Amino acid sequence: MKTTFKEENNDFVMYLSGRLDTATSPDVEKDMQVLMDCEGHNIILDCTDLEYISSSGLRLFLNVLKNAKSKGSHVYIRGVNADINKVFAMTGFSNLFEFK
């Protein structure tokens, strides 16, 4: 599991690649601290290379969203594959996030 943080056009962008499961999520949670101080920036979670996500990963996504919302920022999800999209739909996350 690998994460990359970039600031693009004033947006905070995090590239996620590999399996975001229970084992890897504690590390990813630390990587995501950079997204917490997001005042004045929208956040983009780029899932183009994300192979797998479990409820632990979803939990992290929800954390980011809750924090951003309280600071008036938007969270966009970008490039999800069909299987992961299915999980998002199943859990109702499709209704919570904005997709790019």
Q: Which residues bind another protein (CB under 8 A)?
A: 19, 21-23, 52, 54-56, 58-59, 62-63, 65-66, 69, 82-83, 86-87, 90-92, 95-96
CA-to-CA separations, 64 to 47, 78, 97, in angstroms, rounded: 15, 15, 11
Least Cβ distance, residue 8 to another protein (angstroms): 24
Least Cβ distance, residue 11 to another protein (angstroms): 19
- Tokens, residue 89: 């739909």
Residue 45: which region, alpha, beta or left (left: phi > 0; alpha: psi -120 to 50)?
A: beta
Nearer to another protein, 1 or 14 (CB): 1
Least Cβ distance, residue 73 to another protein (angstroms): 13
Nearer to another protein, 22 or 48 (CB): 22
Nearer to another protein, 52 or 78 (CB): 52
Nearer to another protein, 9 or 82 (CB): 82
Pairing relation of β-strands 2-8 and 43-53? Answer: unpaired
